[in-house]
Amino acid sequence: MGSIVLVVRLALADMRRHKVQAAMLMLAVTVATATMALGLSLRDVSDALYEQTRAATAGPDVVALSGDTGPAVTSALASLTNEPGVMAHHGPYRIVYADLTTRDSLSSPVVVHGFAETPGAVNRPLVTSGRWVRSGGTVLERGFATALGVGVGDHVTIAGRSYPVVGIAVTAATSVYPGAAQIGPGGGPSDYSGLAWMTRSDARTLASSHDLPVTLAVDLKLRDPAATEPFIDAHSDPTVRITFHSWQFRAERDMAILRVSQPILLVGSWLLGFLAITGVASLASGRAVEQTRRAGLLKAVGATPGLIATVLLTEYLALALAGDALGLALARLTAPAIASPTASRIGDAAGPTGLAIAAATVLAVAVAVLSTLGPTLRALRTATVTALTATAHQPRHRPRLTALSALLPTPLLLGLRLTARRPGRAVLQACSTATTVIAIVALLTLYAQPERGYGLDGSSALPNLRGEHDRQLMLAVTILLIALAVVNTLTFTWTTAMEARANMAIARTLGATPGQISAGLSTAQLLPSLPGAVIGVPLGIGLLSLFAARNAVDPPSSWLLGAVLATLLATAALTALPARLAARRPVAQTLSAETA
């Protein structure tokens, strides 16, 4: 009992004393776990939203579509409704292919479903605002209406005729916007299209008055909703071309818009986790002397090695787990918006799955353990008496580097020697820079891709939602990565400055100016950043090629070069502030503090 109180007390006291470090660890773990939980939950959230929409709209188990019309097709589709496995049905109904234009001159292909004024037992679209179809009016699918910026009471022009929008609705019978046209006219491929409903007679009139392409569909409810595949296999008729879409296929198609989102989030979470580890490890190593002394003190008063390890790790683990909980809550809140970028689905997504929670928690624990393992082991292995008088890490003597650096200007001399004092930290700085550049390259690559908009003939007046969604996600992940990298750079510089303050003070007594000291500290961060930024470019291109489409194009070389230069300039600017602050410390004060 006493030990638990002690562990908690020491952990809390240390957190209070190092608030910035505690906040940084928690923030880093929060963003990494939130991103990972989102990435791992996307499919489940998408499925859940589809399921909830399906339940709310009596979604069909199978939709049978024919690209042709005529008595034979109508008969074939109607005969499906009499099959013993079919419990209920809706249709056959007309699907008319037309163009829709809003008052704002936004134009898009649209498929118009001719429905009864009173919805049947299957495929009853849920009206989310306004009312259901009536003669002379149209109801727009919610995802489509949102993209067009159209609401109830507005007018839209379909095939040259104006219709009032009387309602907005959702359905699980079609894919999310812009995938409403499940097959094209004649059964061929379809364009990006929105969905509108009209009364049967209005749809018939629309089709006939403008000689528009028409297809037929029937929605089926099966006795065994899971047995869609056997039903489809049993009713494939070679004489009449019918396309069957099961509800499972529909749910799968909802994921199409998220095809790139998932890798963006998952790879992003790995990179964020990596940056979290490098940042916290740097902070922890900066406090290694203090931690070792603390461990020695605890040993002297009778703490066992196990208890000391518990004390050292508890603080980080507690913070990491708190960050994990925050990250999971954040993922829970943002999952519906990210998993359903269109407004075509309704419902509240369930929280992250067990797998996502477990994986995020493993990531959080890994960040805590990996970033503190070194200082903890050092504290445990150091003999008590040595630990009580622990001093800063003594760097190796490197005569060749010392001789080489002597030929350089003072800032470079100092920078090179500072970098060589802590090669491990230099590697972390290089990796941190490379990680940032990887994200920037991925972002630039996404912006470099040509894509078809959802407007008429691929017009970008209605932008490509998937591309926009991917870019927004990538931008968010990149901003998070840059934020962590910025914190890391500041931490690396400050930790280096603090560890080298005695040496820098001696350099000042030997005639180095504060400006040279400051430039030396900045150079110490820039030297490893340079190879990090350069190697980040091919790594970024290579990583993205694993997930990108085969016809994806690389961003222009000038963009990549600009990214590298901007990263290095930003690093130089970021290191300037802590370096200047550290260099301004009075020499006498520093030297007397070190010898006290």
Distance CA 402, CA 395 (A): 12
Please identify, among the stretches 50-58, 117-125, 317-325, 384-392, the one whose residues bind another protein according to the rule CB under 8 A: 384-392
Q: How far is the CB of 287 from another protein (least distance, A)?
A: 12
Please identify, among the stretches 5-13, 132-140, 347-355, 390-398, the one whose residues bind another protein according to the rule CB under 8 A: 5-13
Closer Cβ to another protein, 308 or 541, answer by number = 308
- Which conformational region is residue 510 in: left (phi greater than 0), alpha (psi within -120 to 50 degrees), or beta? alpha
User: Using omega within 30 degrees of 0 as the cis cutoff, is the peptide bond preceding 71 cis?
Assistant: no
Q: How far is the CB of 56 from another protein (least distance, A)?
A: 55
Distance CA 368, CA 25 (A): 8
Closer Cβ to another protein, 16 or 396, answer by number = 16
Closer Cβ to another protein, 250 or 294, answer by number = 294
Please identify, among the stretches 102-110, 305-313, 529-537, 559-567, the one whose residues bind another protein according to the rule CB under 8 A: 305-313
- CB-based contact 132:198 (threshold 8 Å): no
378 is a site residue for another protein (CB under 8 A): no
Three-state helix/strand/coil letters over 73-95: HHHHHHHHHCCCCEEEEEEEEEE
Which of 305, 424, 542, 586 lies at the binding interface for another protein (CB under 8 A)?
305
Which of 56, 303, 346, 444 lies at the binding interface for another protein (CB under 8 A)?
303
- Long-range contacts (CB closer than 8 Å, 24 or more residues apart) made by 157-162: 157/100, 157/101, 157/102, 158/98, 158/99, 158/100, 158/110, 158/112, 158/196, 158/206, 159/98, 159/99, 159/206, 159/209, 159/210, 159/212, 160/210, 161/206, 161/209
- CB-based contact 125:138 (threshold 8 Å): no
Q: Rule CB under 8 A: which of 283-302 touch another protein?
A: 293-294, 296-302
To the nearest 5 percent, what fractions of the chain are helix, strand and coil?
60, 15, 25
Q: Rule CB under 8 A: which of 118-157 touch another protein?
A: none
The size of the interface with another protein (CB under 8 A), counted in residues, is 30
384 is a site residue for another protein (CB under 8 A): yes
Helix, strand, or coil (residue 265): helix
Q: How far is the CB of 290 from another protein (least distance, A)?
A: 9
> Taking the CB of residue 588, how many other CB atoms lie within 10 A of it?
11
542, burial (CB in 10 Å: exposed 0-12, middle 13-18, buried 19+): exposed
Torsion sign, CA atoms 81, 82, 85, 87: positive
Q: Where are the alpha helices (DSSP H) in 261-408?
A: 261-286, 288-300, 305-339, 354-381, 384-388, 399-405
Which of 232, 329, 330, 388 lies at the binding interface for another protein (CB under 8 A)?
388
Tokens of 313: 């790790």
Closer Cβ to another protein, 302 or 511, answer by number = 302
Q: How far is the CB of 252 from another protein (least distance, A)?
A: 55
Please identify, among the stretches 7-15, 82-90, 467-475, 520-528, the one whose residues bind another protein according to the rule CB under 8 A: 7-15
Closer Cβ to another protein, 380 or 502, answer by number = 380
User: Using omega within 30 degrees of 0 as the cis cutoff, is the peptide bond preceding 109 cis?
Assistant: no
Closer Cβ to another protein, 297 or 365, answer by number = 297
Please identify, among the stretches 12-20, 197-205, 228-236, 462-470, the one whose residues bind another protein according to the rule CB under 8 A: 12-20
Look at strands 214-222 and 194-199 and give their pairing. Answer: unpaired
Please identify, among the stretches 242-250, 254-262, 382-390, 432-440, the one whose residues bind another protein according to the rule CB under 8 A: 382-390
Which of 10, 147, 541, 579 lies at the binding interface for another protein (CB under 8 A)?
10
Which of 239, 383, 399, 450 lies at the binding interface for another protein (CB under 8 A)?
383
Closer Cβ to another protein, 389 or 557, answer by number = 389
Tokens of 386: 């040595």
Q: How far is the CB of 492 from another protein (least distance, A)?
A: 25
Output phi, psi for 453, to 5 deg.
-75, 175
Output phi, psi for 352, to 5 deg.
-55, 145
Closer Cβ to another protein, 226 or 385, answer by number = 385
546 is a site residue for another protein (CB under 8 A): no
Q: Rule CB under 8 A: which of 16-55 touch another protein?
A: 16-17
Please identify, among the stretches 8-16, 256-264, 406-414, 419-427, the one whose residues bind another protein according to the rule CB under 8 A: 8-16
Closer Cβ to another protein, 2 or 189, answer by number = 2
User: Running DSSP on this structure, what letter comes out for residue 124?
Assistant: -
Closer Cβ to another protein, 154 or 290, answer by number = 290
Distance CA 162, CA 424 (A): 69
Our measurement of the distance from residue 588's CA atom to the centroid of its chain's CA atoms, rounded to an integer in Å, reads 50
Which of 212, 232, 307, 506 lies at the binding interface for another protein (CB under 8 A)?
307
Q: Rule CB under 8 A: which of 411-430 touch another protein?
A: none
Closer Cβ to another protein, 70 or 305, answer by number = 305
471 is a site residue for another protein (CB under 8 A): no
- CB-based contact 261:338 (threshold 8 Å): yes
Closer Cβ to another protein, 121 or 593, answer by number = 593
Q: Compose the 326-365 pattern: x for residues touching another protein by CB under 8 A, - for all others.
A: ----------------------------------------
Closer Cβ to another protein, 13 or 593, answer by number = 13
Closer Cβ to another protein, 382 or 516, answer by number = 382
The contacts of residue 329 (CB under 8 Å, 6+ apart) are none
Contact footprint for another protein (CB under 8 A): 1-3, 5-6, 9-10, 13-14, 16-17, 293-294, 296-307, 383-385, 388-389
